[in-house]
A = this chain, B = another copy of it.
Amino acid sequence: MSDLIEELLAGKHRALARVITKIENRHSGYRELVSQLHQHTGNADVIGVTGSPGSGKSTLVDKMAATYREQGLTVGVIAIDPSSPFTGGAVLGDRIRMASNVGDMDVFFRSMSARGSLGGLSTATTDAVKALDAFGKDKVIIETVGAGQNEIDIVKTADTVVVLVPPGSGDDVQMLKAGILEIGDVFVVNKADLEGANRTVQELQEMLEYRDGNIPRTIGHHGAGGMDSTTESLRMDAETDGWEPTIVETVANRGEGVDELLSVLEAHSQYLDESGERESNTRMRYAEEIRTLVREDVNDLLAEELERRGGLDAYVQQVLDRETDPYAVSDELVGPLADCVREKREE
């Protein structure tokens, strides 16, 4: 095992930060690091939090992290910023200050951005979560801006998905139709004290009722359940019918509703264990991880081979001149690989 991984496993935050940097930059040797991390993973509870800019996401995540710390749990946060080509900077700086307000380093914040392709960011996020998991963080929060398909794919890798909806914005409820509604386990209407929050909760209830055929539980000012709904009652529902999505109203900047949100997350986590869904979800994720890595590795191999043969442009010119055609080109490139594979089988 590398010294760096040993230090990470020994609880050195500096080593954790360096491993994540190597993962993010695809530094040579990062694959071996992630391979070594894998056997130490599987203990963290991974929570994805997504929502449009202005929904109060950062504030809520900070309050969640602080509350987990009060409960004696360790927390890692990865904030995904696909719009920024650079890592760190102002956002990272701000969040580190917030972390230190919590009073210790056991809330580890890290922002990651889209250096290369967004597909690559998805893989890098999965790998960074493994670093936090192996380090021993009890809770890992992946925070994304809920815009495109790629970010939905990223947040979907969490065990529990929290979707934030700011009140009074019809646009944001419409946005939910575009795929985020399907992946949410828990919905948070933040800034629930603002005008329009009631209507947003109602619209969400209607959309979720349409999705599932049941009226969702709502915890907070406007919900029938009120603030007295308990984790115990949530668990009982879950045991009979599968997980029922829950709407939680919060006022994150005053810390209101955060305890209730964490209770719901805990109930979902228990539901995942008791129903067997955590294991089946993990299987699906590993299968997807393998498929993605194989695809990336083969693409690298083919790109190298294509370059050696004069590049794609030379083939395109031959196709344009009707000297060859796309199927023949693919046969020429993939054929030798297929032959190799068959020869190896016969050995």
**Least distance between A277 CB and chain B CB atoms (Å):** 14
Note all chain B residues with C-beta closer than 8 A to A327.
31, 34-35, 38, 293
**Least distance between A345 CB and chain B CB atoms (Å):** 7
Q: Which stretch of A188-196, A199-207, A335-343 is in the interface?
A: A335-343
Contact A286 B340, beta carbon cutoff 8 Å = no
Give the interface SS of chain A, mostly helix, strand, loop or mixed: helix
Q: Does A297 contact B (CB under 8 A)?
A: yes
Q: Does A319 contact B (CB under 8 A)?
A: yes
**Least distance between A294 CB and chain B CB atoms (Å):** 5
Q: Which stretch of A11-19, A78-86, A157-165, A308-316 is in the interface?
A: A308-316
What are 14 A-B contacts defined by CB distance under 8 Å?
A38-B325, A39-B325, A279-B320, A286-B320, A290-B312, A290-B315, A293-B330, A294-B329, A297-B331, A301-B338, A301-B341, A308-B345, A337-B340, A337-B341
Which residues of A pack against B, CB within 8 Å?
31, 34-35, 38-39, 42, 279, 282-283, 286-287, 289-291, 293-299, 301-302, 304-305, 308, 312-313, 315-316, 319-320, 322, 325-331, 333-334, 336-341, 343-345
